[in-house]
Chain A
Amino acid sequence: MSEVQVHAAGQRPSAAAAGEGCGRLLRVRVPAEAICWHRFFGALQLALIGLLFLTGVLMALAYTPVPGTAYDSVDYFQFSLPFGDVVRGVHHYAWNLLLVVMGLHLLRALVVGAYKAPRQPVWVSGVLFLLVIPLFIITGDLLPWDQKGYWSTQVRFSIIASVPLVGDFLVQLLRGGPLTGIVALTRCYVLHILLLPGVLLLLIGLHMYFLATRGLSGPPAGEAAARPQVPFLPTIANRWLAVFLASAIGLGLAARLWTAPLGDPADPTDSSFIPRPEWWVLALNQLVAIFKGPFMVIGSAIIPGALIFLLAALPFLDRSPERRPSKRRGVLLGAAVVLAAWAVLSVMGYVEHFVQPEP
């Protein structure tokens, strides 16, 4: 359609393009099982990320990234502003749940062989989420400027500093000085609200693009019959909205019933504070405890790095088109062994840090 024709129809070119885009979106049809009762981890993951963005923006409106004042601003937001406890609670519970859902999403894809050709890029981009989401948690940890965030950050800095050659430089880059203060807080804040969200949006875009171009995985036994299709708009969009609303309500209720924790204000002079690992790093922490001294790198980097590498490389290692779990016992047995080891390490870590009395 030429510009003259568009104007003749009373429309600007951009409006016409937008209209065409909407029209194309309305015509998009996807398998009905894209979001359904037995397949919703991806949708839930996206809903949780959406909730984290929304609640994060609301909290940022009241947040002051200055040591001391940061704590007061979080305290004020949570306990003095209407629904502040709900907003912060949703943010807190959403990231915890996101880690679980992310793991389940990946596990499901692994079990049904969804990583196989032609969906390898979908799988690899999904594995990359495993690296980015924890960085959000880690940078967000320092923001309330409470004892937990401050001292766990100190521990992380000391571990980074022990890395040969680049350790001190990296610490300097993150901390911006000899002490963890306003510069470190500002850098974590910028990473948390600006740079990492950018990376995450890029990853989500990539994941969706690969999903759209490589297709949704079908039944493991193969495509015996044509899969029922539904329009993306409004059917799938509405289903996702339902997931979003259900998670928002569920997490909102949880936040109201169980107030999100806010520890004591950070006291950099209180070296008696004992950092203990959170639930999601108990296994990793235990790995480091096993490999001590010069061998620490085995537990801290080589084993976890190798596992992530294996996970990312899985589609290229297991090239057979077979997707039925019963025919892929080797891969599933390997995954089960890793999961069992992970669970055992987590339990060991839990017992060591939470059950045994402090020395």
Chain B
Amino acid sequence: MPKRWQVALFLGVLMGFTGLFIFSNGAVGAAKQTLTAVYSKTAPAGLDDPAWGKVKALEVPFEGKEKFAGKKAAVSAKAVYTDSEIVFWFNWKDPTLSVTKEAWKFDGQNWARQKGDEDRISLLFEINRIQNFATKGCAVVCHVPAGAPNAKEGKFGTATEAEKGDLWHWKAARSDPAGYADDGYLTKIGDTKGGRKPDAGKGGDKPNITDDKTKPKYMLAPGKKLGKHNILLAADAVEISDYTIFKAGDVITYRMPVAAEGSFGDIKAVSRYGDGAWTVMLSRKLNTGNEDDVAFDPRKKYNFAMALFDDSKDYDSYDSEVLSLEFKK
């Protein structure tokens, strides 16, 4: 081989290989907490199902926001899936059981709504990709920095119609006594309204208040029993005809849980409060077939984020970093 060809070959190969190296610095990924949903033929029947004992819990740290700023919380999370269903299990410490949600209290003369909110946990998944949710989580939809297209004081939502989230919202006082978690979705924030919408169907809660807003309108119907934590369900309520039957210290639910129907009631809930901690189990079909729900495909990974509310309103929460949900058979 002529010398010049040898030199040319050397330079060509050297440049080529340099290029090869330059371009070859691959990446595998940064650390992100992953909740692994473990396959099971049958879904766990309840909070104490032995199946949960076989699933490793993920300890998820939470950072306090607004009035909880500087505080921390933690949730143990587990997940199991079957051929048709996904079930989550959450456990977190909470020294106080909060289910008041402004319940009415009678002092012998007047009715007044008590101070006090409720405990909650919420999960947000992507139905359609939300810009940067995979890396920033709730920071791009809930706690949005000023100047963002979806930054509206006191409201949250996505920046465009194309971005859509699935919001699971378990409420100790307003949904859990009826056996479900509110199923909502998050879409583009409006000029006047937030982007948080309820799924199609019925559910939520019904205010128990008279037209003059001075007292409760409903009480427990004869023959019915109060729900969990002595909460009055809308289905078991009857209009009060005689207010003289009440004595001082009587309490009546202000926000009565309504039995859920349709897509709104897709997420079934079971819970227990004991030993200063909540244990909550949420279950849903992998694919509900509803456009307002994320359809879980066990081949994929999903990003989600969680928020805890300790007797507090929307912005006073503990938030997790964005997490990854994967399925393992």
Contacts and interface: CB of A to CB of B under 8 A. Distances in A.
Interface of A: 68, 71-72, 75, 79, 85, 124, 127-128, 130-131, 134-135, 137-139, 141, 147-149, 151-152, 155-156, 159-160, 163, 259, 262-265, 267, 269-270, 272-278, 280-281, 284-285, 288, 300-301, 304-309, 312-313, 316, 353-354, 358
Contacts of A353: 28
Interface in B103-140: 129, 131-132, 134-136
Given A270-B132, A309-B10, A316-B1, A277 B25 contact: yes
B24 A71 contact: no
B326 to A, nearest CB: 10
27 contacts: A72-B129, A130-B20, A131-B19, A131-B20, A134-B24, A137-B24, A138-B23, A147-B29, A147-B30, A148-B29, A155-B27, A156-B25, A267-B132, A267-B135, A267-B136, A272-B135, A275-B26, A275-B28, A276-B28, A277-B24, A277-B27, A277-B28, A301-B14, A301-B18, A305-B13, A312-B13, A316-B1
Given A148-B28, A155-B27, A267 B20 contact: no
Contacts of B213: none
Given A147-B135, A277-B26, A264 B17 contact: no
Given A72-B129, A267-B136, A281-B21, A308 B16 contact: yes
Nearest to A264: B134
Nearest to B25: A155
Interface of B: 1, 6, 9-10, 13-32, 129, 131-132, 134-136, 297, 299-301, 303, 324
Given A128-B16, A134-B20, 5 more contacts: A148-B26, A277-B25, A278-B24, A281-B25, A304-B21
B17 A301 contact: yes
Contacts of A313: 6, 9-10
Contacts of B24: 134, 137-138, 156, 277-278, 280-281, 284
Contacts of A134: 20, 23-24
Contacts of A301: 14, 17-18, 21
A59 B14 CA distance: 33
Interface residues of chain A: helix, strand, loop or mixed (majority) = helix
Contact of A79 (B21, B131, B300): B300
A265 B20 contact: no
Contacts of A151: 27
A273 B20 contact: no
Contact of B27 (A79, A127, A152): A152
B23 A148 contact: no
Contacts of A278: 24, 26-28
A185 B23 CA distance: 14
Contacts of B299: 79, 85, 259
B20 A152 contact: no
Contacts of A305: 13-15, 17-18
Contacts of A300: 18, 21-22
A130 to B, nearest CB: 8
A244 B264 CA distance: 51
Contacts of B23: 134-135, 138-139, 156
Contacts of A274: 27, 29-31
Nearest to B26: A278
Nearest to B327: A259
Q: Which 10 A-B pairs have the closest CB atoms?
A: A278-B26, A275-B27, A305-B14, A138-B23, A264-B134, A152-B27, A131-B16, A267-B135, A301-B18, A276-B28
A284 B299 CA distance: 33
A71 B129 contact: yes
Nearest to A284: B21
B25 A79 contact: no
A276 B9 CA distance: 32
Contacts of A304: 17-18, 20-21
A43 B129 CA distance: 42
B25 A270 contact: no
B141 to A, nearest CB: 14
A124 B10 CA distance: 12
Contact of B22 (A159, A262, A273): A159
A102 to B, nearest CB: 13
A269 B132 contact: yes
B127 to A, nearest CB: 13
Contact of B134 (A267, A275, A307, A316): A267
Contacts of A316: 1, 6
A273 B21 contact: no
Nearest to B20: A134
Nearest to A138: B23
A68 B135 CA distance: 14
A206 B24 CA distance: 26
A358 to B, nearest CB: 6
Contacts of A149: 27
Given A270-B132, A308-B13, A312-B13, A135 B27 contact: no
Contacts of B21: 281, 284, 288, 300-301, 304
Contact of A273 (B1, B30, B303): B30
Contact of B297 (A79, A155, A263, A285): A79
B17 A263 contact: no
Contacts of A75: 129, 300
A272 B30 contact: yes
B29 A276 contact: yes
Contacts of B18: 300-301, 304-305
A130 B16 CA distance: 9
A71 B126 CA distance: 14
Contact of A281 (B6, B14, B26, B29): B26
